[in-house]
A and B are shown apart, each in its own frame.
Chain A
Amino acid sequence: MPGRVARGLAPDVMRTLAARLPSGTIVVTGTNGKTTTTRLIAHILSVAGFSSVHNRAGANLAAGITAALLQRATLGGKIRGDVGIFEVDEATLPIVQPALQPRAIVLTNLFRDQLDRYGEIDIVAGRWETALSNAADVAIIFNADDPLVASVATRTMTRRVAFGIEDSSCSIGTLEHAADARHCYRCGVLYEYRAVYFGHMGVYRCPQCGTARPSPDVSAHEVEARGLEGSAFTLRTPHGSARVKTRLPGAYNLHNVLAAATCSLEMGVALPAIVQGIETFAPAFGRAERVQVNGHEAVLLLAKNPAGFNEVLRTVLRDSDQPTVLIAINDLTADGRDISWLWDVDFEMLAGRIRRAIITGIRAHDMDLRLKHAGVPDETRAVTTDLAQAFDLAIESTNGRRLYVLPTYTAMLQLRKILQRRGLVTGFWED
């Protein structure tokens, strides 16, 4: 709220304060991975001795960014911090970019998320293109494995640095149903994929016009997936290579780590500091966060769209045989009010492979019906719309094993509040 008031009083307060950051600002945008990537960049930069100003997770509209800047401003209008690192809502980029004049913009990915709020995926891509075409003197750090992001990035006139995964053993084979941008932006023909990592991420090429995935400047090789423990990989950069271990699980997090590494290189951080930063980084709240409950372990895995949900389901099934899962589906504004995306998730992979599914949230009954159609039998499923009750029931059902909690965004916040009241977790990222 203070951000909104200040913006009303002095419309260019964001511009004025951001310009006083000696090492400039970095903007992270995209559908998935903004919070994790932003936090990881801030962490790596702190290892390298930078003091950063950043917005709180989810406070990624103009007001949230202004509030973050104001919080670190002195009465004399100076700002305490070297560099600003802001996650920016994908639809807000055109508004924020001219005010912040960032030195680097990180484009993580574009998924069909919360369509009821943003309109269509092409509209967002179009807005990015407009915003980037007006940006001078900025480095675009982009995900080469996302054809939509790459098509936007490669049409800009500014300097570009691409990151991507270079390990065909990460391929899940064929495109999932959840894949969004499967058609060549130029000619509408289906891309041919040499490797599919998840969703529409992979190594693609248009058979008609030859548009292909740009070769990444920073890449992950020899990837060793370790389920929920994270993964290890060889990070190759123009400044050398290193073997790195990350505690962030799943292929989607490899992209986040690569994005952060690429951005840190752009800021002049040396490779050893980047490796140290990646290896000492703990997951952001709700993103593979672990909670101890009366001797049981619960793992929170945010699941907010089809491709992300599929990746979370694969990670859970790799981590455990016959797991117990708690699925919490809300349809508030921050989740997307339209829950039809549940039908684009491949819940069929759970049939016969889970011990118990406890289903909760505002749209619990929709989720229950989805699992029924996916072939998860009636006796495996239990529904209660009360989140606290559902959590207790789920913990009881684990039989001493790990519980996997798969909530949408607001369900995760509600659940965390419940756990916080019980003293099991601390407040989330507000540093």
Chain B
Amino acid sequence: MELRICHLYPDLLNLYGDRGNLIALTNRARWRGIAASVTECRLGDPLDGDAYDLYFIGGGEDRQQRLASNDLRARKGGILTQAAQAGAVVLAVCGGYQLLGHYYRPAEGDDLVGLGLLDLTTAHPGPSVRRLIGNIVISSTLLGGATVVGFENHGGRTRLGPGAAPLGNVIRGFGNNGEDHTEGGVSRNVYGTYLHGPLLPKNPLFTDHLITTALGRRHGQVTLQPLDDRIEAEAHASAVLRAAGHK
């Protein structure tokens, strides 16, 4: 059994410790004796829609996001959509998350047309409106109400349509738009979120959910061996306290 990961735009969209998500996915597979590989797919590279169980897209600054968005639509969008329909997991964080929606409307300039893999839209309210920055804790419906912790830093405000469920409800922090208490967007095996920090190392439940779902496409129902997660639990608990203002 092998977990095959494709990292999209590793050099353009790699803000905020995104590499930590790949480290967590591959280590948690390998610690269980499951082989794991990460293949990088850059600007201009062709994308193989059959070769991977999980596609990861990170966050980037405006300029990089625009470059990635053009390439995504021109070269990779159709293939990625088909792969997602065939059961591959797509995980996108921050800027990548915005690109999975219908569009991202920047403060200045033209809309970035997204892939529409998630039923949501994002608009940047302009430079005079504050960015949504800080530690965040959500309660994830997907994980039976378990908390997911991270850090968010985004200007764009995201609104979910009826076709996307939130990843969770905001306990501390801002989430999608700072108003409706939703955070992230999920549709079947496509996941988007503003949580970095990075997301996966401190949230092993969510990481294992993604690994199980990703392996499921080719291997059916997979049961993962439990791991010793005491260090993860400590880091998770301290992040929850930090978000509540404790030192």
Is A279 on the interface with B (CB-CB < 8 A)? no
Residues of B within 8 A of A369 (CB): 201-202, 231-232, 234-235
Nearest Cβ in chain A — how far from B91, in angstroms?
15
Q: Which one of B13-21, B78-86, B117-125, B181-189 is at the interface? A: B13-21
Q: Which one of A42-50, A69-77, A213-221, A340-348 is at the interface? A: A340-348
A337 touching B135 in the complex, CB below 8 Å, given contacts A342-B17, A362-B247: yes
| A373 lies within 8 A of B201 (CB) | yes
Nearest to B20 among chain A residues (CB) is A343
Q: Which residues of A contact B (CB under 8 A)?
A: 112, 115-116, 119-122, 177, 182-183, 188, 190, 331, 337-344, 362-366, 368-370, 372-373, 378, 383
A365 touching B19 in the complex, CB below 8 Å, given contacts A121-B61, A188-B67, A343-B198: no
Nearest Cβ in chain A — how far from B65, in angstroms?
10
A356–B96 Cα gap in the complex (Å)?
38
Q: Could you name 16 residue pairs across A and B whose Cβ atoms are closer than 8 Å?
A: A116-B151, A119-B131, A122-B62, A177-B14, A190-B11, A340-B151, A341-B17, A363-B238, A365-B235, A365-B237, A365-B238, A366-B235, A368-B231, A369-B232, A370-B20, A373-B24
| B11 lies within 8 A of A366 (CB) | no
A370–B198 Cα gap in the complex (Å)?
11
Residues of B within 8 A of A112 (CB): 15
Nearest Cβ in chain B — how far from A222, in angstroms?
33
Is B192 on the interface with A (CB-CB < 8 A)? no
| A340 lies within 8 A of B43 (CB) | no
| A183 lies within 8 A of B12 (CB) | yes
A369–B227 Cα gap in the complex (Å)?
14
A384–B45 Cα gap in the complex (Å)?
46
A331–B131 Cα gap in the complex (Å)?
19
Partner of A116, one of B153, B201, B237: B153
Residues of A within 8 A of B63 (CB): 122, 188
| A177 lies within 8 A of B19 (CB) | yes
Residues of A within 8 A of B242 (CB): 331, 362-363
- Mask of B202-237 contacts with A, CB within 8 angstroms, 1/0: 100000000000000000000000000001101101
Given contacts A340-B17, A344-B19, A363-B242, list 11 more A-B pairs with CB under 8 A: A122-B61, A190-B11, A337-B135, A341-B17, A342-B17, A343-B19, A343-B20, A343-B23, A362-B242, A364-B238, A369-B201
A368 touching B16 in the complex, CB below 8 Å, given contacts A116-B133, A338-B153, A362-B247: no
Is B239 on the interface with A (CB-CB < 8 A)? yes
Residues of A within 8 A of B197 (CB): 338-340
| B153 lies within 8 A of A183 (CB) | no
Nearest to B201 among chain A residues (CB) is A369
Residues of A within 8 A of B135 (CB): 337
A382–B237 Cα gap in the complex (Å)?
18
| B201 lies within 8 A of A338 (CB) | no
Nearest Cβ in chain A — how far from B197, in angstroms?
5
A378–B229 Cα gap in the complex (Å)?
12
Chain B interface residue number, banded: 35 or more
Residues of B within 8 A of A339 (CB): 151, 197
Residues of B within 8 A of A120 (CB): 61-62
A372–B11 Cα gap in the complex (Å)?
25
A235–B153 Cα gap in the complex (Å)?
43
Nearest to B11 among chain A residues (CB) is A182
| A373 lies within 8 A of B11 (CB) | no
Partner of B134, one of A337, A340, A342, A366: A337
| A365 lies within 8 A of B234 (CB) | yes
Residues of B within 8 A of A365 (CB): 231, 234-235, 237-239
Partner of A368, one of B43, B151, B234: B234
Residues of B within 8 A of A337 (CB): 133-135, 151
Residues of A within 8 A of B17 (CB): 340-344
Nearest Cβ in chain A — how far from B38, in angstroms?
12
Residues of B within 8 A of A378 (CB): 231
Nearest Cβ in chain A — how far from B37, in angstroms?
17
Nearest Cβ in chain A — how far from B163, in angstroms?
30
Residues of A within 8 A of B157 (CB): none
| B133 lies within 8 A of A183 (CB) | no
Is B140 on the interface with A (CB-CB < 8 A)? no
| A343 lies within 8 A of B201 (CB) | yes
A337–B134 Cα gap in the complex (Å)?
7
Is B196 on the interface with A (CB-CB < 8 A)? yes
Nearest to B64 among chain A residues (CB) is A183
| B62 lies within 8 A of A188 (CB) | no
Residues of B within 8 A of A383 (CB): 234
Residues of B within 8 A of A364 (CB): 238
Nearest Cβ in chain B — how far from A57, in angstroms?
24
A119–B43 Cα gap in the complex (Å)?
24
Nearest to B28 among chain A residues (CB) is A373
The 6 A-B pairs at the shortest CB distance, nearest first, are namely A343-B20, A340-B17, A343-B17, A365-B235, A120-B61, A369-B235
Nearest to A383 among chain B residues (CB) is B234
A340 touching B198 in the complex, CB below 8 Å, given contacts A177-B19, A190-B11: yes
| A372 lies within 8 A of B231 (CB) | yes
Nearest Cβ in chain B — how far from A368, in angstroms?
6
Residues of B within 8 A of A370 (CB): 20, 201
Nearest Cβ in chain B — how far from A184, in angstroms?
11
A286–B236 Cα gap in the complex (Å)?
30
- Mask of B141-160 contacts with A, CB within 8 angstroms, 1/0: 00000000001010000000
Nearest Cβ in chain A — how far from B232, in angstroms?
6
Residues of A within 8 A of B24 (CB): 373
Residues of B within 8 A of A343 (CB): 17-20, 23, 198, 201
| A373 lies within 8 A of B23 (CB) | yes
Nearest to A115 among chain B residues (CB) is B153
A370–B24 Cα gap in the complex (Å)?
10
| B151 lies within 8 A of A338 (CB) | yes
Nearest Cβ in chain A — how far from B10, in angstroms?
9
| A373 lies within 8 A of B27 (CB) | yes
Nearest to B71 among chain A residues (CB) is A188
Interface positions of B from 15 to 67, Cβ below 8 Å from A = 15-20, 23-24, 27, 43, 61-64, 67
